[in-house]
Amino acid sequence: MDILAKKKILFLCTGNSARSQMAEGLIRHFRGEEFESFSAGIDPKGVHPKALEVMKEIGIDISGQHSKHLDEIKNIEFNYVITLCDHAEKNCPLFFTKGKRIHKTFSDPATVKKKGDDITASFRIVRDQLKEYILDFTDDEDDIA
């Protein structure tokens, strides 16, 4: 598929540190021929080191990605804007786009208070849930809600 024909997809969460970063990398890796992927946050915090770690475990390098505020991508016409947390969905400004706005909640692994294996396990769980969602993503609205 020609790059000009790729659909633009935005993953939006509060901090743009974990869920949306992993989703951006996953769709680029698995569905990059179909989609040009972006991520942003309402209050960007920087890419979480555990997000980098668990993505690397499955052969996906997101170290070149950076945490972005919505203002950095406001002029892009998206086909899809997917909010990944309730806070982002409630606080996401209106995008003047013809694209679909979709809300799909995933827990925030960056909020896990424990250290070591527990936090890593939380990131793996969310990574795997995002991967399944992205692999199943279709234009059929019933399949993506």
Tell me the pLDDT tens digit for each residue of 21-56. 999 999 999 999 999 999 999 889 999 999 999 999
Give the domains, in start order, of the chain with CATH numbers: 3-144 (3.40.50.2300)
Average pLDDT in the 4-18 region? 89
- What is residue 145's predicted lDDT score, i.e. its pLDDT? 37
From CA 123, how far away is CA 59, in angstroms rounded? 15
Tell me the pLDDT tens digit for each residue of 92-136. 665 556 678 888 999 889 887 766 668 899 999 999 999 999 999
- SS3 labels along the chain: CCHHHCEEEEEEECCCCCHHHHHHHHHHHHHCCCEEEEEEECCCCCCCHHHHHHHHHCCCCCCCCCCCEHHHHCCCCCCEEEECCHHHHHHCCCCCCCCEEEECCCCCHHHCCCCCHHHHHHHHHHHHHHHHHHHHCCCCHHHHC
**pLDDT-derived band of residue 141, with 50, 70 and 90 as boundaries?**
very low
- What is residue 16's predicted lDDT score, i.e. its pLDDT? 92
Would you say residue 143 has pLDDT above 50?
no
- What is residue 115's predicted lDDT score, i.e. its pLDDT? 66
Reported as half-sphere exposure (CB side, CA atoms, 13 A), residue 132 has a value of 8
- The catalytic site residues sit at 13, 85, 92
